[in-house]
Amino acid sequence: MNAPSPVDKNSAGVGERQYHIAVAPGEVSTVALLPGDPFRVPLIAEFLTDVKTIAHNREHLTMTGVYKGRKITATSTGMGCPSTAIAVEELIRVGVTSFIRVGSSAGLQVGVKPGDLLVSEGALRNDGTSAAYAHHGFPAVPDLAIALELDKVARELTKGTNTAVYSGINASDDAFYAETPEWISELNRLGILNVEMESSALYVVARLRGVRAGMICSTSSNLFDGTSLYGDIKTALKDGWMNSIEAALEVAVRLEL
């Protein structure tokens, strides 16, 4: 009798419709915008023409369309690094080679206000998922060209408005409600610009798989100077989402991702 052969997940499902995102090869672009919330995928679709819903399975809604002549895919990752890593792995298997996360993130430095744009230059890996992929000293960094172009385009789009653009190091945490005042103060002391829950896994998986990734977020709140997540910030936050989406789309076109 033959000995059991453990499944190699690095090869399982390649070239097929994916188990979690329910997308098959040929149904997506080479570039994908990644919001966390599936309800924000239709916000991306507002910028696109010839929009098609490809799949909606679990927290992963995928739509495609065209922006300035370029095919664009949008897929929601859900909250946190585990579901983000799954979405990115499966999108890579069906043909995506560049990712731009367009999310929400809490500011950690004084003066960052709801709706401001935050461009990531790298992530402090305070998550468990990326540790399963690589030694914790392995850096979680975006593609340099994507990060620089996101900063440039964001500043072009917001010039003359009340929206500020910041670039810096963010933190990726696993446990939203475990972020204590002491932890927030420590991140501020380290000069960390903002905190969210997905980019460290996105960056590490992208680097290991040989694809490109970046992130631009709308500020949801400021955890250091007391701007409440539960305050009247919804309009500013949505305006920031729309600005971040437009910036990401422009970068996808300019860099021919």
Which residues have a Cβ under 8 Å from the Cβ of 185 and sit 6 or more positions away?
Answer: 224
User: Are the beta carbons of 75 and 62 closer than 8 angstroms?
Assistant: yes
What is the C-alpha to C-alpha distance for residues 120 and 169, in angstroms, rounded to an integer? 6
What three-state secondary structure class fits 117?
strand
Position 9 scores a pLDDT of 87
In this predicted structure, the answer to whether residue 233 has a pLDDT above a threshold of 80 is no
Q: Thinking of the domain 31-254, which architecture would CATH place it in?
A: 3-Layer(aba) Sandwich (3.40)
**Interatomic CA distance for residues 203 and 192, integer angstroms:** 17
Residue 90 has pLDDT above 60, yes or no: yes
Asked whether the predicted pLDDT for residue 1 surpasses 70, the reply is: no
Give the C-alpha separation, 253 to 196, whole Å: 26
pLDDT of residue 5: 85
Residue 231 confidence (pLDDT):
58
Reported as a single tens digit per residue, the pLDDT across 35-88 is: 999 999 999 999 999 999 999 999 999 999 999 999 999 999 999 999 999 999
Q: What is the pLDDT of residues 8-46, one digit of tens each?
A: 888 888 889 999 999 999 999 999 999 999 999 999 999
